[in-house]
Amino acid sequence: MHRRPDLYPEPHLFRPQRFIEREYNSYEYISFGGGARRCLGIHFAFYEMKIVLAYILLHFQLKLYSNKPISPVRRGVTFCLVEAYQW
């Protein structure tokens, strides 16, 4: 799935910004697999990611990918910040 060039142009290139340029649905982005062989470590992996994220936020200064204004948007019961053009 993740090597389909129609969904992921130049699929072998490391281009994380592809996830900013396009929103993938749950049938296009299946990073933990699916069905009977779905990843057993998914919850541990998310736990590890939170630790890494906390380390990054403590030790590095981050800056925005673009200078476009960002606005809060309601997603279900939570809010997140998105670039204003996505309204």
Residue ranges that bind ligand HEM, judged by CB under 6 A:
31-33, 37, 39-41, 44-45
Residue 42 in tokens: 């998914």
Q: Is 39 annotated as a binding residue?
A: yes
Whether the CB-CB separation of 2 and 11 falls below 8 Å is answered with yes
Distance of closest approach, residue 74 Cβ to ligand HEM, in angstroms:
28
Of residues 49 and 84, the one with the C-beta less far from ligand HEM = 49
Count the alpha carbons within 13 Å of 82 in the hemisphere toward its beta carbon.
Answer: 15
Distance CA 64, CA 50 (A): 20
Distance of closest approach, residue 35 Cβ to ligand HEM, in angstroms:
8
Of residues 44 and 65, the one with the C-beta less far from ligand HEM = 44
Distance of closest approach, residue 42 Cβ to ligand HEM, in angstroms:
7
Using CA atoms, how far residue 12 sits from 17, 27, 29, 32, 34, in Å, is 14, 19, 15, 18, 22
Of residues 44 and 79, the one with the C-beta less far from ligand HEM = 44
Residues of each annotated binding site: 39
